Structure 1
Amino acid sequence: MSLHYLIREPKIIQEKNPLLLLLHGYGSNEEDLFSFASELPEEYFVVSAQAPYPLMYGSYAWYAINFDADDTKFSDINQGKQSRDLIVNFIDELTNKNPIDPKKVTLIGFSQGAILSYAIGLSYPEKVSKIVAMSGYLNTEMAKENFEQNNFSNLKIFASHGTVDQVIPVDWARKTSPALEKLGVKFVYKEYPVGHGVAPQNFYDFRNWLEENK
């Protein structure tokens, strides 16, 4: 397998089960979001992937970040694109190895993982049916060229952000809604009075959203 990962097998076995793929943020690891696994719907395979670029001990990144830049020069775009395609390849590996329904793949991304989730969904909407993007923003430079011509009719997105996020300003996240509207993507956008993290209410809201959008 091309990425290191943790897996929770579904408790409700179907002929082909849906997949929740968890993508952590910058400087974290595969154990971070996996702490949610026991609280997630029981029919899913829950897989948490570790990003490929090591930072300090036990922490990883999907791409390098330039912390003193504005939103246009914030990220190493080429590394981001490489990770985007690495994750898409990893989805194929997972669906080949496990009885996963390739039409029911959901990405749950936090921060850098959310930014990549958007890039994957817009670049390869045939690979992903749903996205939960928390504390991230839409960076179209990480999407494939001419992504606007893709068919997004089956893609649904739950986006959320903290209003006092000190890492990724909420203003960046607010630009996502008009961009998705323009593309005709079905989405929900919510804000919570927190910083760069997942509020309990945010977790319950996206879990309910998953249940309502099977």
Structure 2
Amino acid sequence: MTTKQLSLQHIIKAPIGQLEKAPVLFMFHGYGSDENDLFSFAGELPEELFIISVKAPYPLQPYGNAWYAINFDADQNKFSNNEQAIESRDKIANFIDEALEYYPIDAKNISLLGFSQGTILSYAVALSHPEKIKNLIALSGYVNYDIIADNFKQNDFSKLSVYASHGSQDQVIPIDWARKAPELLSELNIEHKYSEFPVGHSVAPQNFMELKEWLRTRL
């Protein structure tokens, strides 16, 4: 089901069985993809979940979308447009509030699942607004401190749990960048699990099985 009534375009999968307030999983795709990408996981995830897969706001040519622009200089160094990223962070936080008003979902049982650029945004949302988020699944991404709210380390993270994973052969986002996330999570006393798999910029089958079991035990 596709709907445009809220501020970000998205598709949904309602839970099996009638729940007055269902646990909800928001999905945020990577650069150059769209809301259908991660939604392919939906049928394999716990059936009690209300799943909302969100389309990033910036269209790319010839196809796909982005949460923020990535620009290259003459030496092919990459630069992220952090202003756009912060706008997207705030759009996601606002969209979550809209969805809570619009859909029969539980404000106390909100999970985020991101891939790549979607993970970078999901980290920013969860660390900026931990009061909103119960679980974060961070696939093939990293923490960009420049797009997290100021003084975020003073937040209360006691109800947040994080599952992070990365491919050890990832040529898009270096593994060293990903390894800094569990260091930060430990510093903030955030309950977390971090795993690496011998793949590139993708989600290995055993990775998916692990994140699925991690999420199932936390709903």
**TM-score above 0.5, yes or no:** yes
1:133-144 matches, cutoff 5 A: 133-144=138-149
C-alpha distance in 1, partners of 2:143/2:185?
Answer: 9
Once the 2 structures are TM-superposed, how far is the Cα of residue 21 of structure 1 from its aligned partner? 0.4
Once the 2 structures are TM-superposed, how far is the Cα of residue 69 of structure 1 from its aligned partner? 3.0
Which of 154, 162, 166 is matched with 1:161 structurally? 166
CA contact 1:29–1:58 (8 Å) conserved in 2: no
1:143 aligned partner, one-letter code: I
Counterpart for residue 36 of structure 1? 41
Counterpart for residue 195 of structure 1? 200
Query: Compared with structure 1, are the counterparts of its residues 69 and 180 closer, same or farther at alpha carbon in structure 2 (3 Å cutoff)?
Result: farther
Counterpart for residue 23 of structure 1? 28
C-alpha distance in 2, partners of 1:180/1:138?
Answer: 10
1:123 aligned partner, one-letter code: S
1:122 aligned partner, one-letter code: L
Counterpart for residue 14 of structure 2? 9
Matched, 1:61 2:66: yes
- 1:52-77 Cα shifts (integer Å, max 9, x gaps): 0000243000001135336xxx3111
Classify the secondary structure of the residue corresponding to 2:110. Answer: strand
Once the 2 structures are TM-superposed, how far is the Cα of residue 12 of structure 1 from its aligned partner? 2.8
Q: Which blocks of at least 5 consecutive residues in structure 2 are unaligned?
A: 1-5
Which of 86, 90, 103 is matched with 1:81 structurally? 86
Classify the secondary structure of the residue corresponding to 1:66. Answer: strand
C-alpha distance in 1, partners of 2:86/2:54?
Answer: 17
Counterpart for residue 98 of structure 1? 103
Once the 2 structures are TM-superposed, how far is the Cα of residue 180 of structure 1 from its aligned partner? 1.1
C-alpha distance in 1, partners of 2:24/2:18?
Answer: 12
Paired residues in the alignment total 211
C-alpha distance in 1, partners of 2:83/2:107?
Answer: 27
